[in-house]
């Protein structure tokens, strides 16, 4: 921080230690107390210290009085069928009734929170025997162990490369990579306890799996 100018010697380091380690594949929020600079014109500088890493991304830089953060507790899910709202539930399963055998439908679900709702995630399926559904072009994939302590594996029945994306329940992308053969290991960042969706795309085939991080 500086109150006098933008020359390097004008600045005072306010972060702890020699430097802060930024995660290499995920966003991380840092906050600093600037109350002693209230009412003053200030200059902010961020120094990138590189160890064979030549890019650093910075986003959503905010200086001012923070708003009180609202609780973002999950209050349930809204379920849709062919774009029409069918109801809400707090369970992780929902049964559609009175479907026509052999007909394709598009099911959707949005997670509801005290601060709003996530985007609607959809999947196409074909009704069979009026009581079961089969996802269209679903990949044969499994996620284990589940629950996990933060490290889990993706097993595919085919060694062909697939796009692997992990989303939180708000629909925000947390992690993305390409699978490597039959088995791919995923390491979630520390403090990631909660439920996530793992989406796999291999050509026109997809699979969505739930993973719980303890």
**pTM of structure:** 0.41
Q: Are residues 145 and 209 in the same domain?
A: yes
Q: What pLDDT is stored for residue 163 in this prediction? A: 92
Q: Which residues of the chain fall below pLDDT 50? A: 68-71, 130-136
Q: Are strands 132-135 and 121-128 parallel, antiparallel or unpaired?
A: antiparallel
pLDDT for position 79: 92
- Residue 164 contacts residue 176 (beta carbons within 8 Å): yes
Split into its structural domains, the chain has a count of 3
Digit-coded pLDDT (tens) for 128-139: 754 444 444 567
Q: Which whole-number Å values give the CA distances from 52 to 45, 55, 57, 119, in the listed order?
A: 21, 9, 15, 37
Please report, for residues 14, 30, 50, 65, 157, the alpha-carbon distance to residue 20 in angstroms, rounded to integers and kept in the order given.
11, 9, 11, 23, 41
> Based on the domain organization, do 172 and 119 belong to the same domain?
no
* pLDDT in the model for residue 157: 87
Last residue of a domain, one of 105, 135, 165: 135
What pLDDT shows up at residue 137? 57
Q: Give the pair of three-digit tokens for residue 4.
A: 């006098």
Q: What number of CA atoms fall less than 13 Å from residue 8's CA on the CB side?
A: 1
- Asked if 167 and 193 sit in the same domain, the reply is yes
- Cα three-residue angle 42-43-45, rounded to 5 degrees: 145
End-to-end CA distance of the chain: 39
Range of the domain at 98: 74-135
Q: Are residues 108 and 152 in the same domain?
A: no
Give the CA distances from residue 47 to residues 19, 59, 153, in Å, rounded to whole numbers and listed in that order. 9, 15, 36
Residues 29 and 47 in one domain: yes
Predicted local confidence at residue 129, as pLDDT:
58
For 38-128, strand residue ranges (E) read 74-81, 84-89, 104-113, 116-117, 121-128
pLDDT given at position 173: 83
Which residue, of 36, 66, 96, is where some domain finishes?
66
């Amino acid at each position: 921080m500086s109150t006098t100018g933008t020359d390097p010697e004008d600045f005072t380091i306010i972060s702890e230690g020699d430097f802060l380690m930024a995660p290499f594949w995920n966003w991380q929020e840092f906050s600093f107390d600037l109350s002693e600079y209230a009412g003053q014109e200030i200059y902010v500088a961020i120094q990138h210290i590189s160890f064979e890493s030549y890019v650093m991304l910075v986003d959503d830089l905010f200086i001012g009085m923070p708003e009180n953060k609202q609780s973002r507790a999950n209050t349930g899910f809204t379920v849709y069928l062919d774009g029409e709202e069918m109801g809400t539930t707090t369970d992780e399963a929902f049964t559609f009734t009175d479907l026509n055998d052999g007909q394709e439908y598009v099911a959707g679900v949005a997670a509801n929170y005290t601060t709003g709702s996530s985007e609607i995630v959809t999947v196409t399926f074909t009704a069979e025997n009026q009581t079961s559904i089969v996802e269209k072009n679903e990949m044969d994939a499994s996620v284990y162990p589940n629950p996990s302590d933060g490290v889990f594996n993706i097993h595919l029945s085919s060694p062909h490369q697939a796009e692997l994306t992990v989303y939180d329940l708000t629909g925000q992308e947390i992690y993305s990579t390409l699978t490597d053969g039959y088995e791919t290991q995923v390491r979630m960042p520390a403090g990631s306890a909660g439920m996530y969706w793992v989406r796999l795309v291999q050509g026109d085939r997809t699979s969505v799996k739930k993973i719980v991080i303890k």
